[in-house]
Amino acid sequence: MADEAKQLGLHFDQLSQSEWYVWMDNHVLGMDEFLHRKHLKKNGLTAPEAVIEGVSQLPERQEILVDFDDTLWLTNSTEQFIELAARSVVVAIVLQIMDMLKPWRWLHGSKGKHYRDLYRVRCGLWLNPMAKRQWQQQAKSLVDQYLNQPLYQTLMRHKGKVFVVSYGFDFVLQPILDEINLGSNLLVSSNLTTAAQLRMSGKAAAASALIGSKRVTHGACVTDSKMDKDLLLQCQDAWLCQWPESVEIRAGMSPMLPFVYLKKVKRPTESYFTRAILGHDYLTLILAFALINPYPLYTAVALFGFVIAYFTAYEIGYFENDNLGAKFEEKPKISKEFSLFGQGFRPSFAWFFTLLLTAPPAWLAAQGPSFIPGYFQLEGAAAFGAVYLVFISFVLAVRAVFAWFNRLTEKGRLIPMLLLQLGRNGGYLLIFATSTVGALFIVTCTLSKWIPYVAYRFGADRKGMPEHLINGLMFAVLVSLLWGQGALTLAELTSAPSLVILAYLGLRALIQLWKYKHYFQLLVPRR
């Protein structure tokens, strides 16, 4: 029957058979009666109107356990509290760093998710000790905006006991409950000691320990979260409902640090930083510039710093692209996270970090890797200043091209896209020298990225396009032409840096060719 329950009824997160059997042992019901008692549909959700009607028809003395966040309170109270604490730029920055590094995973492994809110709340309190007092002053003013009035009024008319059961923090919930006359009804909540343990044990166990499992079993519960499956299974009557008026809040996201917009909004489902920026752009620069430079290690480190600074400014173009798309395009290609996080991005903050992050690689490049100081016979601060100004000028030019790109119609973006791709790989020619083979490599890498974009803008699906194969073939053609014309010598082609580039191109092309081998089958006559 457990398997039947999973197939017919509750789409909870990996319900164990033991949970179903415990419930069935205590309540000798058939599946139809089980679902009827639970007021649950095949998708596991009940409409808000049905919840209000169902709760209003409960027996007078039946006790009700109601979730707080996104149920009685139409947002997440913990996020609201952290947002209040994170009004300081310092707090917001630390919270974003924590979200990127995820120390709860390092320290607690698979149980780390249960510690996330605890770490974030503690961080907010440590950096803003006045946050609790500020919350007590502000919480009352939020009631009119966030209290679920239909559910609240229905609960207030109920003659039985109403308990609030929440994973939220007691010092966050209590001021709100005091304001709405439910102050003494807080049964289950977190504190700075028990928060993680409560999430691991569940609300049903916590409530049963306080009022007895029999009262919980004979009670009713209302929640929006499938994490409360223990309550939904144990209570006699249960409603799982996601209220459309609920507002999602993510705290500490303004102002955004570099790469946060890219990760959270522009490419939320991709490992873009590691796959595209480091795995393609940075690797291309290493092969094209660092291997041939007399200072390969310095060059590699400087290039890494320049790439970080470059994409910090490049994110402004991404933000502008989404912002203009939302305003002017009929079907903008914008992730749903834009409405949630978009306002947290500040271009001025991105420019500040660009200027700041450019300084270390510019200083390092001026120590020898860059040809600029030698060409202009500069030393010390003058050498650093020259490299710094060249890179910032390059970034400003890229930003202007991106602004042009964002204001054109889709098919009109082909030329600025070519320039943007060239800037990502070839703009560093303004600072570092390379060989003929390195320059050809930059050109073919640029074109191998641009050609799929052109195809996409004219209706093709660029997913799965063999970019590395295109890159390798174009490189082979250009090298053959230059060698045939005497513009490329055998010595240049067989130098150690060139051989590394050739090996890289060849290997990536062969791997992709192997993946596409099924396309090389001969045609079979039609029968």
127 lies in a domain? Answer: no
Predicted pLDDT of residue 404: 97
Note whether residue 183 is domain-resident: yes
Look at residue 14 in the predicted model and tell me its pLDDT.
44
Residue stretches of the chain with pLDDT short of 50:
1-33, 42
Distances (CA, A) of 434 to 248, 264, 292, 299: 50, 36, 6, 12
Query: Do 264 and 349 fall into the same domain?
Result: yes
Cis peptide before 255 (omega within 30 of 0): yes
Domain stops at, among 433, 463, 479: 433
Between CA 113 and CA 308 the distance in angstroms is: 29
Is residue 389 a part of any domain in this protein?
A: yes
> Do residues 56 and 153 both lie within one domain?
yes
Q: In what order do the strands lie in the sheet with 220-223?
A: 186-190, 162-169, 64-66, 220-223, 237-240
In a domain, 465, yes or no: yes
> What residue has token string 């073939």?
473
Structurally, the chain folds into a number of domains equal to 3
Q: What does pTM read for this prediction?
A: 0.81
Residues 156 and 267 in one domain: no
**Residue 449 confidence (pLDDT):** 93
CATH code at position 69: 3.40.50.1000
> Which tokens in the block code for residue 516?
């596409």
Q: Residues 218, 293: one domain?
A: no
> In this structure, is residue 199 part of a structural domain?
yes
For residues 332 and 447, membership in a common domain is answered with no
33 lies in a domain?
no
From residue 467, give the alpha-carbon distance in Å to each of 447, 471, 472: 9, 6, 9
* Distance between CA atoms of residues 336 and 326, nearest Å: 11
Ordered alpha helix ranges (H), 212-295: 213-218, 229-234, 260-261, 272, 283-285
Output the pLDDT for position 396.
Answer: 98
Query: Which residues are bridge partners to 117 per DSSP?
Result: none
Which residue, among 442, 435, 454, has the nearest Cα to 494 in the 3D structure? 435
Res 37: pLDDT: 54
CA dihedral (222, 225, 229, 230) positive or negative: negative
- Coil/strand/helix, residue 157: helix
Q: Return all residues near 9 (Cβ < 8 A) that are at least 6 apart.
A: 31, 34, 35, 38, 40, 42, 44
Distances (CA, A) of 325 to 90, 339, 346, 400, 407: 31, 12, 17, 18, 9
Residues 196, 335, single domain; the answer is no
Tokens of 192: 């700075």
Asked if 349 contacts 260 with a C-beta cutoff of 8 angstroms, the reply is no
Tokens of 40: 């649950």
Amino acid type, 347:
P
User: How, if at all, do strands 186-190 and 64-66 pair?
Assistant: unpaired
Residue 66 phi/psi, 5-degree rounding, is -120, 135
What are 357's two structure tokens? 């992050």
**C-alpha distances out from residue 142 to 71, 82, 159, Å:** 15, 15, 27
Distance between CA 486 and CA 405 in Å, rounded?
Answer: 38
Percentage of residues in the chain having pLDDT higher than 90: 71
Of 23, 14, 39, the residue nearest 1 (C-alpha): 23
Residues 386 and 259 in one domain: yes
Do residues 380 and 368 touch, judged by C-beta distance below 8 A?
A: no
Give the three-class secondary structure for 441: helix
- Domain limit, last residue, from 433, 449, 483: 433
Contact call for residues 434 and 299 (beta carbons, < 8 A): no
**Is residue 168 helix, strand or coil?**
strand
Alpha-carbon distance 318 to 269, whole Å?
16
**Amino acid letter, 42:** K
Q: In this structure, are residues 498 and 435 in contact, taking their beta carbons and an 8 Å threshold?
A: yes
Residue 450, CA atoms < 13 Å, CB-side half-sphere: 21
Residues 209 and 354 in one domain: no
- Longest Cα–Cα distance in the chain: 95
Q: Are residues 422 and 507 in the same domain?
A: no
Tokens of 522: 């001969």
The answer to the question of residue 278 being in a domain is yes
Tokens of 257: 């640090």
Taken in order 502, 503, 508, 511, is the CA torsion positive or negative? positive
pLDDT of residue 356: 97
Q: Note whether 179 and 135 are within 8 A (CB).
A: no
Same domain, 304 and 416: yes
Q: Are residues 473 and 392 in the same domain?
A: no
Could you tell me if residue 234 is inside a domain? Answer: yes
Asked if residue 320 and residue 209 are part of one domain, the reply reads no
Which of 411, 433, 455 terminates a domain? The answer is: 433
- Domain span including residue 280: 253-433
Question: Which residues of 265-312 form beta strands (DSSP E)?
Answer: none
